[in-house]
Amino acid sequence: MKNSPLQVLIDTLPQVGRVEWIGLRPARDAAMVAVTQVHAAPDSGLEGDRYQGRSGGNGKRQVTLIQYEHLATIAALAHRPSVTADMLRRNVVVSGINLLALKGKTFHIGEVILEYTGPCDPCSKMETLLGPGGYNAMRGHGGITARVLKEGSIVVGDEIKITENQAVQYAHA
């Protein structure tokens, strides 16, 4: 069956993004720890992150990603001079690719393959971190969540792009 013109547009994502920052949350309410590299595994998520191993191979929130381009937007909406990646408590900050365009797709970050699992909506902690209205400033700009399908390392500077063959299925180790 032939795809509709809209579906062809949705499926066409030639842009390649770049990892700008990686952060881990070692414990609930702990400060984010910036790293230049992290190991990702299907059954446990990101090594050193508080969610590591908590949801097993079916975890929908093993990795959280946010667009670098949205940091300035969130800052403007929160009436702050700037917002840093660690304030937003996401694991990976990427530039150059629309993360919402990854919906329904698998994608590479370096050697790791991830699967889009949903939007990463803000939590009430944003009111504390960004000030009054911080939650609403992040609505629609909170990024996405993903599940690890293929193990490997994610490194600052890695490319992020959709997989060549979306029909390929990856088994959990």
Q: What is the pLDDT of residues 46-68, one digit of tens each?
A: 999 987 766 544 578 899 999 99
Q: Tokens at residue 15, please? A: 């842009």
The average pLDDT across 32-53 equals: 91
d(CA 11, CA 115): 15
169 — pLDDT class (breaks 50, 70, 90): very low
Tell me: the pLDDT tens digits for 72-91? Answer: 999 999 999 999 989 999 99
Entry pTM: 0.86
Between 15 and 9, where is the model more confident?
Answer: 15
Confidence at residue 68, expressed as pLDDT on a 0 to 100 scale: 97
Q: Tokens at residue 101, please? A: 């365009």
Question: What is the CA angle 151-105-50, rounded to 5?
Answer: 45
d(CA 155, CA 169): 24
Between 165 and 37, where is the model more confident?
Answer: 37
All structural domains of the chain, each given as residue ranges with its CATH number in brackets, are 17-162 (2.40.33.20)
Contact in structure between 17 and 105 (CB atoms under 8 Å): no
* Short-list 99, 97, 103, 94, CA closest to 10: 103
Confidence at residue 11, expressed as pLDDT on a 0 to 100 scale: 72
The average pLDDT across 66-71 equals: 96
The identity of residue 45, as a single letter, is G
pLDDT surpasses 90 at 108: yes
Contact in structure between 122 and 143 (CB atoms under 8 Å): no
The average pLDDT across 81-110 equals: 94
Confidence at residue 6, expressed as pLDDT on a 0 to 100 scale: 77
31 CB-contact burial (10 Å; exposed 0-12 / middle 13-18 / buried 19+): exposed
